[in-house]
Structure 1
Amino acid sequence: MTELSHVVFEDINAVPLEQLNPARRDRFANATELPVFERLRREDPVHYTPESEFGPYWSLTLWDDIRAVGSNHRDFTSTENIDLKSIEEKINLEAALQALGHKRRKNVGFITMDPPEHTKHRKAVTPGMGPASLARMEPVLRERAGIILDGLPIGAPFDWVDKVSKELTATVLATLFDFPFEERRKLTFWSDMLMCEPGRGPVKSWEHKAEETIKCYQAFEALWEKRRNEPPTHDLISMLAHHPETCDMTLDEFRGTIVLLIIGGNDTTRNTISGSLYWLDKYPQEFAKLKANPKLVMSMVSETLRFQTPISFMSRVANRDVEIRGKNIRQGDRVLMWYLSGNRDASAIEDPDTFCIDRDRARRHLSFGVGVHACIGSRVAEMQLSVIWEEILKRFSRINVLGEPERNYSNFLHGFENLNVIIPKG
């Protein structure tokens, strides 16, 4: 495989700690972010960035601190958003939406609620992610995964992200929402539109982003009206429309919940499908283990979730003054829990910088979060990832990665825009 020839490497240890901005997006795009977090874990695990394009924020980089804050919704609220947008982004998107006659409101999906409101809204869709739902979904997903894989070209290069990762994720989302299957790729497209800035992904301009955001809202609002006038079914929209705690939710709450479900159902799984193939190519001895023992699929999936960490962080805001490792976090301060750093913390994970698919306690990672906001779709994601790899191993003995992928220009989504591969003939 070729290396990252376009990257200008910096001596991260030469940057004064007080000037270190761990959320700088270019490092994530260039795959040079991990040394930043290695230094912070060693020298300043509760780190304050006083000035950045995102405003001031704290960074937690150790496993124990991330778990402690993630489990403490009383002192650290989610109601002030869980990502990290620049001031410029917020202003530009609001102006673009207003120009279209749409006032931008606060995202109030249940991930940006605290208990008890969070508990009520989350409960409404929990059955859609539970054992009975998984049992209904698994044979459909397996059949569609087989169709995707059987349609791949042999002996010719193609983009794994587009042909497999996006396609499978769109299939699962369409199934969960009972969204028109022939329009399934709108779901991954809208996820990209919601998460990218102009010039990145499919977003051409702030006006383009605003237009597609409104189209997404309108499509799901139409589904909501349809489902609430029909008998209850097993899809997530119907569950929200008929559950007593959510049937009267506000329009803003509904939109926020849909955004959460689209993005949450897309990016974690999509980036892990791509990441698993990338890292198995980087570690051929691990691919050999997997082919020799397909029962390692679930362990490999968990190790990829840790090693790739598809969501880099989650953000909270302090409800009161709190001290962590001698640092005084003030009420109103933003705190980032860097999952991708906690997943490389040697005090919690043995030999954390090695990709090992038969690792003991492989499911011990932070990639699904902790506490009341732990990922509601974690079991769906694991099933999806396991099924696709079980079906891959039935069909292909080798899939070769052709050079380095283009990575997301994002400090939040930790994955690939593309991944060129070839399935050898014979």
Structure 2
Amino acid sequence: MATQLKDTRETQSLPQGSVTWPLPPRVRPDLPNHDKATLEAYLATAPLDEVDIADPLWWETDTHHVYFKRLRAEAPVFFTSVNNNRHRGFWNVTRWNDVMAVDTNHQVFSSEATLGGITLFDMDPDFIMPMFIAMDPPKHDVQRKAVNPIVSGQNLASYESLIRERTAEVLDGLPRGEAFDWVDRVSIELTSRMLATLFGWPQERRRMLTYWSDISTADPELPGNPGKEERQGILLGMLQEFTMLWNERVNAEPTGDLVSMLAHNSATRNMPPMEFMGNLVLLIVGGNDTTRNSITGGLYFLNKNPAEYAKLKANPGLVENMVSEIIRYQTPLAHMRRTALQDTVLGGQLIHKGDKVVMWYSSANRDDSVLDNPDAFIIDRPRARQHMAFGFGIHRCVGNRLAELQLKILWEEILKRFDHIEVLEEPERVPSAFVKGYNKLMVRIPA
């Protein structure tokens, strides 16, 4: 049997619930607190090198698309200088073909955690969490292979009835004729139940998985979010709890959950604690954010496009195609980052060894040189699965089929029950240039 993991640092107890975001509206200090139209007008006219598109403001207000459209047209590979942002300068890659070129060339563009990792924020050199998405081959390949069976065709088939049963239970428990938060009652509830199943985690504590996902991706510099040291303490607490699960399962017969898979696979059974933590964060975030935010985004998009909602009601057979369009239109993870391993040329720009290169999936999914009418939400779009939301190459999302299955079942069950679900107000969006998601969406199901 593998060596048991040991707790290496003191940890703290964690609250039982979801992270909250008590954030006031944010704007740049030199911009007044204007409405969305004014912010979009600013992005449409400001000098390109004046804008830091990684500022959470543009994502919280859903105005980023204006700037990306300009970059695709004027400067598709564009450097945001170190003087204008807190990320030590980075290359914005915004067109489909350029993003594809970076995503499929790990020999030149590295994901390694020790070089900074996969997000705009460099990993803290004193708190590096290696994870297989932040590794290059060959280590990436063997660690990813260790968890691949969780989303095998056989497993997906076995999950289908469970997902449908839980979806029906959640939908049947929703109030009629009164306002409620779709994010909390449906999006988080369904994804947390599935996450708990994947990890063999107690269902009664499933919201802790959502909490850890939110903490791991929250910007520690934003007011109201845990700061750097508090965040590290919370994640060490997560490691402590999962270490207990590991120690139970490493000396038991293998089961089908992710912790058991990691504990019994030769490529992962002797991971140091920080690497175990990193892979936990990866698998929790990966299993949470795509599905959760696409569940919310889908309902929001249908309400914003009533002709598409009517089309769906008239032809429920469009659900599967619509799921792919929802994921494209939402693009739940806005970017992935790489680090150049050598001097190279991309889009006519010289990128130096060590430069930070950001693939903006949210921009590539709106590239009209590849996609027809990409700014429109069209549920019967031809070749709807042709999107960038899951990435490409060796790091393509391992759980993409499971996410699609959960969304497909949800909408099949919604259409069986409700003629309409009404969005009552604009959503509260996550202030993040990485997780493109929602904190709140108030809705009502007519009585």
Q: TM-score, normalised by structure 1?
A: 0.92
Partner of 1:159: 181
Q: CA 1:262–1:29 in structure 2 vs 1: closer, same or farther (change >3 Å)?
A: same
Secondary structure at the residue paired with 1:417? Answer: strand
Which of 112, 119, 129 matches 1:83? 119
Secondary structure at the residue paired with 2:428? Answer: coil
1:207 is displaced (CA, Å) by 5.1
CA RMSD of aligned residues (A): 1.8
- Asked if 1 retains the 8 angstrom alpha-carbon contact of 2:365 and 2:388, the reply is yes
Partner of 1:60: 93
Q: Greater CA deviation, 16-25 or 128-137?
A: 16-25
Deviations 1:339-381 (A, max 9, x none): 0100000011001111000000000000000000000000111
Matches within 5 A, 1:240-319: 240-319=262-341
1:239 is displaced (CA, Å) by 0.7
Matches within 5 A, 1:141-290: 141-197=163-219, 203=225, 205-206=227-228, 208-290=230-312
Distance 1:195 1:306 in 2: 21
1:201 is displaced (CA, Å) by 10
Distance 1:201 1:242 in 2: 41
Distance 2:366 2:413 in 1: 30
Q: CA 1:85–1:416 in structure 2 vs 1: closer, same or farther (change >3 Å)?
A: same
Amino acid at match of 2:395: H
Partner of 1:98: none
Deviations 1:50-70 (A, max 9, x none): 121111000010000001110
Which of 6, 16, 23 matches 2:54? 23
Partner of 1:343: 365
Amino acid at match of 1:177: F
Q: Say if 2:391 is the partner of 1:358.
A: no
Distance 1:133 1:72 in 2: 31
Runs of 4+ in 1 over 4 A off after TM superposition: 198-202, 204-208
Amino acid at match of 1:143: E
- Asked if 1 retains the 8 angstrom alpha-carbon contact of 2:340 and 2:356, the reply is yes
Gaps of 5+ in 2: 1-32
Deviations 1:222-244 (A, max 9, x none): 11111101100111111111112
Distance 1:318 1:292 in 2: 49
Partner of 2:79: 48
Distance 1:74 1:372 in 2: 11
Q: CA 1:5–1:289 in structure 2 vs 1: closer, same or farther (change >3 Å)?
A: farther
Q: TM-score, normalised by structure 2?
A: 0.88
Q: Say if 2:136 is the partner of 1:114.
A: yes
Secondary structure at the residue paired with 2:439? Answer: coil
1:251 is displaced (CA, Å) by 1.5
Matches within 5 A, 1:375-386: 375-386=397-408
Secondary structure at the residue paired with 2:267? Answer: coil
Matches within 5 A, 1:400-415: 400-415=422-437
Partner of 1:69: 102
Q: CA 1:72–1:207 in structure 2 vs 1: closer, same or farther (change >3 Å)?
A: closer
Percent same amino acid at aligned positions?
Answer: 47
Partner of 1:99: none
Q: Greater CA deviation, 288-297 or 338-347?
A: 288-297
1:253 is displaced (CA, Å) by 1.5
- Asked if 1 retains the 8 angstrom alpha-carbon contact of 2:219 and 2:432, the reply is no
Partner of 2:414: 392
The number of residues matched between the two structures is 408
1:325 is displaced (CA, Å) by 2.1
Secondary structure at the residue paired with 1:38? Answer: helix
